[in-house]
């Protein structure tokens, strides 16, 4: 009897956890519509243009998928780290370093075909992991706040990339690298590069690792309560370091995929800009669920590519989609916090027990 009551409550809480982000998305879209209306434009026409511009036909859909692809990687990077209690804000730097390493191996060593492709991806993974290893070591040895160190390393990575595309592999002195040769670009499938498939598979793998393996269980345990995990004999420091490395590797792979998959196949100013914080937003909206992160990344892709069409049709700056994104995350955070408030919990519980009583009497 008591057990049933708990499970009913749990079910309700789970439903609320799914409902909150959905309601947040709707609310954010409403706020966006209000802003558009305040500018004297038609929000319904705007959102129609957004959908048409992002999902209207196959070429637009593939563009949306390619736009969402790197966000899946940075989103999963954030999810994996946060599950272990590591607030990795360095997804952008890790992605950039991954792309730099890919560019350096492919442009530096030459080579074509599958081996070069594989080597490029591997270089991205290794560089991303190494770039996350540094804040990881600083955290477990000196107890440094990883939020600050990873952000600082983002800027270092940004300037390093500038060095790469201006001085090392510059295309005839222009501030961009030489484009990757056709032989090492990711093949296309239905208009989108196969990196999209890699991203989806990676999302499923990360979900499996976190929720269905003993390693994932340990990672989650450390994230929830590091002291209890240590008492339980888990190697907490090693797990934290591994969380850094794996999340960095995911972001680094994202950088490699972005460089090898997406036109113009080269590094230049603005490469990867904003992907890190978008990834953080995705992880938080998705409630640290890798599969939900895939969907949220897709939503972000729709907003981004659709926003351009919206701008050209109704003349509202594309930054409106950034506001919508920001509102989604604010509403999600506020919503998740408020359903955990004691007062509201009591309310939900009493409302729930009434409904179960009603069920029982019926």
Partner 1 sequence: MDFLTVLPTILKAMAMGAVPILLASLGELFSERAGLVNIGLEGLMAIGAFVGFAVAKMSGNLWLGLAAAMAAGVIVNMLYAFCTVTLCSDQVVTGMAINILAPAVALFGYNLFVGSDPANATGAQMPSIAIPGLSELPFVGGALFNQTLLAYLAFLLVPLVSYFFRHFRAGLSFRSVGENPHAAETLGIDVVRMKYVACVICGALAAAGGAFLTLCYTPIYIDGIVMGRGFIALATLIFGRWSAVGVLGASLLFGFFDGLNVALQAQFQAAPVMFFKMIPYLFTIVALVFFGSRRAGPRASGQPYFREQR
We find the least distance from the C-beta atom of residue 59 to partner 1, in angstroms, to be 27
Both structure tokens of 100: 């730099």
Query: Is residue 336 near partner 1 by the rule CB under 8 A?
Result: yes
Residue ranges in 257-286 that form contacts with partner 1 under rule CB under 8 A: 273, 277, 280-281, 284
Query: How many CB atoms are located within 10 Å of the residue 269 CB?
Result: 12
The binder of partner 1 chosen from 163, 188, 238, 354 (CB under 8 A)? 163
Matching residue, tokens 């590591």: 86
Residue ranges in 80-119 that form contacts with partner 1 under rule CB under 8 A: 87, 89
The binder of partner 1 chosen from 144, 174, 346, 347 (CB under 8 A)? 144
Query: Is residue 197 near partner 1 by the rule CB under 8 A?
Result: no
Q: Is the peptide bond before 264 cis (omega within 30 degrees of 0)?
A: yes
Residues 6+ apart with CB under 8 A from 65: 192, 196, 298, 301
Judged by CB under 8 A, which stretch of 118-126, 174-182, 215-223, 337-345 contacts partner 1? 337-345
Query: Is residue 138 near partner 1 by the rule CB under 8 A?
Result: yes
Distances in Å between the Cα of 206 and the Cα atoms of 76, 85, 195, 209 are 8, 16, 16, 5
Judged by CB under 8 A, which stretch of 45-53, 157-165, 179-187, 223-231 contacts partner 1? 157-165
Torsion-angle region of 256 (φ positive above 0: left; ψ -120 to 50: alpha; else: beta)? alpha
Both structure tokens of 167: 């001085």
Query: Is residue 24 near partner 1 by the rule CB under 8 A?
Result: no
Cβ atoms of 67 and 57 closer than 8 Å: no
Q: Report the residue number, 109 or 144, with the smaller CB distance to partner 1.
A: 144
Query: Is residue 341 near partner 1 by the rule CB under 8 A?
Result: yes
- Taking the C-alpha atoms of residue 126 and residue 74, their distance in angstroms, rounded to an integer, is 15
Q: Report the residue number, 255 or 276, with the smaller CB distance to partner 1.
A: 276
User: How would DSSP label each residue in 127-149?
Assistant: HHHHHHHHHHHHHHHH---HHHH
Q: Report the residue number, 158 or 194, with the smaller CB distance to partner 1.
A: 158
Q: How many C-alpha atoms does 52 have within 13 Å on its Cβ side?
A: 11
The binder of partner 1 chosen from 179, 245, 323, 349 (CB under 8 A)? 323
Q: What is the CA radius of gyration of the chain?
A: 22
Both structure tokens of 158: 């940004």
Judged by CB under 8 A, which stretch of 55-63, 119-127, 171-179, 336-344 contacts partner 1? 336-344
- Taking the C-alpha atoms of residue 93 and residue 151, their distance in angstroms, rounded to an integer, is 8
Query: Is residue 171 near partner 1 by the rule CB under 8 A?
Result: no
- Taking the C-alpha atoms of residue 135 and residue 128, their distance in angstroms, rounded to an integer, is 12
- Taking the C-alpha atoms of residue 85 and residue 268, their distance in angstroms, rounded to an integer, is 33
Cβ atoms of 276 and 154 closer than 8 Å: yes
Query: Is residue 345 near partner 1 by the rule CB under 8 A?
Result: no
We find the least distance from the C-beta atom of residue 269 to partner 1, in angstroms, to be 12
Query: Is residue 162 near partner 1 by the rule CB under 8 A?
Result: yes
We find the least distance from the C-beta atom of residue 200 to partner 1, in angstroms, to be 25
Cβ atoms of 91 and 78 closer than 8 Å: yes
Query: Is residue 159 near partner 1 by the rule CB under 8 A?
Result: yes
Q: Report the residue number, 165 or 186, with the smaller CB distance to partner 1.
A: 165
Query: How many CB atoms are located within 10 Å of the residue 64 CB?
Result: 24
The binder of partner 1 chosen from 140, 197, 330, 348 (CB under 8 A)? 330
Q: Which x/- pattern over 34-73 shows residues binding partner 1 (rule: CB under 8 A)?
A: -----x----------------------------------
Query: Is residue 312 near partner 1 by the rule CB under 8 A?
Result: no
DSSP state of 167: I
The binding site for partner 1 (CB under 8 A) comprises: 39, 87, 89, 138, 142-145, 147-149, 151-156, 159-160, 162-163, 166-167, 273, 277, 280-281, 284, 317-320, 322-323, 325-327, 329-330, 333-334, 336-338, 340-342
């Amino acid at each position: 009897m008591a057990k049933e009551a708990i499970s009913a409550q749990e079910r309700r809480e789970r439903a609320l956890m799914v409902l909150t982000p959905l309601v947040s998305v709707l609310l954010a879209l409403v706020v966006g519509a209000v802003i558009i209306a305040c500018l004297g434009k038609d929000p319904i026409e705007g959102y129609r243009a957004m959908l048409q511009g992002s999902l209207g036909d196959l070429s637009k859909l593939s563009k949306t998928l390619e736009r969402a692809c790197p966000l899946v990687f940075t989103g999963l990077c954030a999810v994996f780290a946060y599950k272990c209690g590591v607030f990795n804000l360095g997804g952008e730097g890790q992605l950039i370093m991954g792309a730099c390493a890919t560019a350096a191996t492919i442009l530096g060593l030459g080579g074509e075909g599958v081996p070069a492709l594989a080597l490029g991806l591997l270089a991205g993974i290794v560089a991303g992991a190494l770039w996350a290893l540094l804040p990881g070591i600083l955290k477990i040895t000196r107890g440094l706040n990883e939020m600050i160190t990873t952000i600082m390393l983002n800027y270092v990575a940004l300037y390093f990339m500038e060095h790469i595309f201006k001085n090392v592999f510059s295309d005839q002195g222009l501030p961009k690298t030489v484009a990757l040769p056709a032989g090492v670009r990711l093949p296309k499938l239905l208009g989108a590069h196969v990196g999209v498939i890699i991203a989806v598979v990676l999302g499923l793998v990360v979900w499996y690792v976190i929720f269905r393996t003993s390693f994932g269980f340990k990672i989650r345990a450390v994230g929830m309560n590091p002291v209890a995990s240590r008492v339980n004999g888990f190697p907490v420091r090693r797990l934290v370091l591994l969380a850094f490395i794996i999340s960095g590797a995911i972001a680094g792979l994202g950088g490699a995929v972005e460089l090898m998959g997406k036109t113009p196949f080269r590094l230049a100013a603005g490469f990867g800009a904003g992907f890190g914080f978008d990834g953080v937003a995705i992880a938080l909206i998705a409630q640290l669920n890798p599969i939900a992160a895939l969907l949220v990344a897709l939503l972000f892709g729709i907003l981004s590519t659709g926003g351009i069409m919206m701008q050209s049709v109704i003349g509202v700056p594309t930054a409106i989609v950034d506001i919508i994104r920001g509102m989604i995350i604010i509403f999600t955070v506020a919503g998740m916090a408020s359903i955990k408030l004691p007062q509201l919990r009591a309310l939900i519980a009493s409302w729930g027990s009434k409904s179960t009583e009603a069920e029982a009497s019926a």
